């Protein structure tokens, strides 16, 4: 049984992330979506909110589980018997960083961990959580980028912070 982890900030989850989750769920026995709880990043949504949004968006995918982790990814993987990291590649700009992380994860895990890259579906190639946050903060409609319930959460979030 191969268990894979798809780690990220998911602040918030976008259709680009969901595309990678759906595609990887057909490739592995189990896909764990790992929400990185990194307080240094000062996220818009709390780790719990990001986990809840991902759970809702993936509820129909039976072999997908959403968890929250902090600390080193490879430590979490070791403790939970996970051998594959899934990452999405949008553009060449993602590649350099991803290559470095993948190679160092392989080295420090003593070659027990591998990274699998899925290239973005062309319609989501430009999409990132930061673009979504930026547009939403100006009241621009982001319903092409994120599920409807995320649109509502973003609206609430920016209305509250404007008050």
Active-site residue identified among 41, 48, 107, 159 = 41
69 makes contact with ligand ADP (CB under 6 A): no
Reply yes or no on whether 17 is catalytic.
yes
Reply yes or no on whether 87 is catalytic.
no
Q: Which residue lies nearer to ligand ADP by CB, 120 or 137?
A: 120
Q: Which stretch binds ligand ADP (CB under 6 A): 6-14, 60-68, 135-143, 151-159?
A: 6-14
Helices 148-162, 47-57: crossing angle, 10 deg rounding: 160
Name the minimum Å distance from CB 17 to ligand ADP.
Answer: 5
Q: Which stretch binds ligand ADP (CB under 6 A): 26-34, 37-45, 128-136, 155-163?
A: 128-136
Reply yes or no on whether 56 is catalytic.
no
9 makes contact with ligand ADP (CB under 6 A): yes
Binding mask 17-56 toward ligand ADP (x if CB under 6 A, else -) reads x--x------------------------------------
DSSP the chain: --EEEEEE--TT--HHHHHHHHHHHTTSSEEEEEEE--GGG--SS-HHHHHHHHHHHTTT-TTEEEEEE-S-HHHHHHHTT--EEEEEE-SHHHHHHHHHHHHHHHHHTTT--EEEEEEPPGGGTT--HHHHHHHHHTT---TTTS-HHHHHHHHHHHHHHH-
128 makes contact with ligand ADP (CB under 6 A): yes
Choose which of 5, 87, 105, 154 interacts with ligand ADP (CB under 6 A).
Answer: 87
Query: Could you list the residues that contact ligand ADP (CB under 6 A)?
Result: 8-10, 14, 16-17, 20, 87-88, 90, 94, 120, 124, 127-130
């Amino acid at each position: 049984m191969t268990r894979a982890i798809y780690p990220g900030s998911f602040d918030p989850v976008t259709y680009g992330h969901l595309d990678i989750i759906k595609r990887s769920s057909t490739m592995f026995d189990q896909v764990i979506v790992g929400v990185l709880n990194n307080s240094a990043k000062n996220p818009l949504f709390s780790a719990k909110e990001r986990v809840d949004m991902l759970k809702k968006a993936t509820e129909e995918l039976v072999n997908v589980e959403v968890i929250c982790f902090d600390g080193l990814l490879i430590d979490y993987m070791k403790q939970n018997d996970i051998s594959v990291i899934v990452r999405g590649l949008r553009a060449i700009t993602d590649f350099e960083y991803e290559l470095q992380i993948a190679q160092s994860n392989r080295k420090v895990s003593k070659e027990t961990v591998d990274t699998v890259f899925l290239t973005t579906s062309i319609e989501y190639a430009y999409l990132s959580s930061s673009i979504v946050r930026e547009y939403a903060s100006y009241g621009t409609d982001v319903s092409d980028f994120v599920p409807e319930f995320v649109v509502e959460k973003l609206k609430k979030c920016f209305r509250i912070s404007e008050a």
